[in-house]
Amino acid sequence: MTKLALVRHGQSAWNLENRFTGWWDADLTEKGEAEARHSGTLLKGVDADFRAAFTSVQTRAIRTLWMALTEMGRVWVPVEKNWQLNERHYGGLTGLDKAETAAKHGDEQVHVWRRSYDVPPPPIDEDSQYNPAKDPRYKGIDVPATESLKSTLERVLPYWTSEIAPVLSAGTDTVIAAHGNSLRALVKHLFNVPDESITGIEIPTGNPLLIDLDANLKPVSVRYLDPARATPLPELP
């Protein structure tokens, strides 16, 4: 079996401040760094030979991967970074305090924006200080103005198919360090999770999700490495 480890980045500064982060490049907090190292410690104890790693182009995911690989004694593992593994773009909500947003728009509307499968938040203003369109790391990319989980999946899946799946098909144990929604998109694809159920799947920080894949990249087993901090697992397809 080929092993795939999904690692959600540790707590970021904007997670701590309860702000919608999305594509904004918030860094890890001290707690987030500790969670990243804990993920690496857990992965080091797995009977696997991790020789490939993928992450987004966002600092919190990149640094999470660095710290995890350091704890694993695997800093030499080749790492591929790509924007298609970025967090979901929260559009006009980016930078807003979640409690204040709920007070302004209502809890129900905010819940729809956060947890529906195909309803995106309002688009970000072009002149917003949080608009990533002019960030040099996205040069030549058609940066979205907002995203739903569905549109996040639509840009994650081509990268999975073209870059990650061939590595796994070759039998290479692989780590993906990314974000709550880009990892949720991968879980939806791998486990055929229904649209109405996928938002209930949430990989916790500091607790890798380990998946055994068969030759056709179908999951045959799945578990969290820290059972004490586990959330509901996706059902095997």
Query: Quick one: pLDDT band at residue 191, thresholds 50, 70, 90?
Result: very high
Is the pLDDT assigned to residue 115 strictly greater than 90?
A: no
Cα–Cα distance measured from residue 6 to residue 225, given in angstroms and rounded to the nearest whole number: 11
Q: Which of 35, 71, 87, 147 is catalytic?
A: 87
* pLDDT for 224 beyond 90: yes
Which tokens hold the place of 139?
Answer: 């040069």
- Please report, rounded to a whole number, the percentage of residues in the chain having pLDDT higher than 70: 100
What pTM was computed for the model?
0.96
- List, in order, residues 6 or more apart from 180 with CB less than 8 Å away: 8, 87, 88, 202, 203
Which residues, in sequence order, are CB contacts of 191 under 8 Å at separation 6+?
219, 222, 234, 235, 236, 237
Tell me if residue 87 is catalytic: yes
* Active-site option among 9, 38, 89, 179: 9
- Taken in order 59, 65, 20, 157, the sign of the CA dihedral is positive
Tokens, residue 30? 């001290």
Please report, in angstroms and rounded to a whole number, the separation of the first and last CA atoms in the chain: 16
- What is d(CA 237, CA 229) in angstroms, rounded to the nearest whole number? 24
Rg for the chain, CA atoms, rounded: 17
Provide the 8-state DSSP code for 17: T
Helices (H) and strands (E) in the chain, counts: 9, 6
- For residue 208, which of 196, 226, 192 has the smallest C-alpha distance? 226
CB 61 within 8 A of CB 80: no
pLDDT tens-digit series, residues 132-180: 999 999 999 999 999 999 999 999 999 999 999 999 999 999 999 999 9
Mean pLDDT over residues 18-43, rounded? 97
- Torsion sign across C-alpha atoms 39, 53, 27, 146: negative
pLDDT above 90 (res 89): yes
For residue 99, what pLDDT band results from cuts at 50, 70 and 90? confident
Does residue 9 carry a catalytic annotation?
A: yes
Query: Is the pLDDT at 85 greater than 90, yes or no?
Result: yes
* Range of weakest confidence among 14-28, 63-77, 90-104, 183-197: 90-104
What per-residue confidence (pLDDT) applies to 70? Answer: 98
